[in-house]
Amino acid sequence: MTINKSIENNILTLKLEGWLDTTTSEDLGKEIEKCENVSSIILDFDKLEYISSAGLRQVVAFSKKAKSINADFAIINAGFEVMSVFQLTQLDKKFKISTK
């Protein structure tokens, strides 16, 4: 998985690409630790093919981090496969998610 990070106008955008699974979820975890002084956090799932519960846990952790620094948190461009995992776990109700 690769993560393309960009900060613009205090908005942190993380473009995830590939598989967010048990072997790669730590990469996202590291980004959570680094994240500071932003007003919004956006996860762009446009090129994310796959997400497992390990990935979901990092997404949840990220949303909690956002809350702790009073930043907005949103997910954009979720594909069908990824979205279905959010739906399966009811997490789609917890986040602002926009689909492709």
Which stretches of the chain bind other proteins, using CB under 8 A? 19, 21-23, 49-50, 52-54, 56-57, 60, 63-64, 81, 85, 88-91, 94
- Which is closer to other proteins, CB of 37 or CB of 93? 93
Query: Taking the complex as a whole, how short is the minimal distance between the CB of residue 92 and other proteins, in angstroms?
Result: 10
Query: Taking the complex as a whole, how short is the minimal distance between the CB of residue 84 and other proteins, in angstroms?
Result: 8
- Which is closer to other proteins, CB of 4 or CB of 84? 84
By DSSP bridging, strand 40-51 and strand 2-8 are: unpaired
Query: Taking the complex as a whole, how short is the minimal distance between the CB of residue 63 and other proteins, in angstroms?
Result: 7
The maximal CA–CA distance of the chain, rounded, in angstroms, is: 34
Measured N-to-C along each axis, helices 25-34 and 53-68 cross at an angle, to the nearest 10 degrees, of 10
Q: How far is CA 62 from CA 14, 26, 92, in A?
A: 11, 12, 15
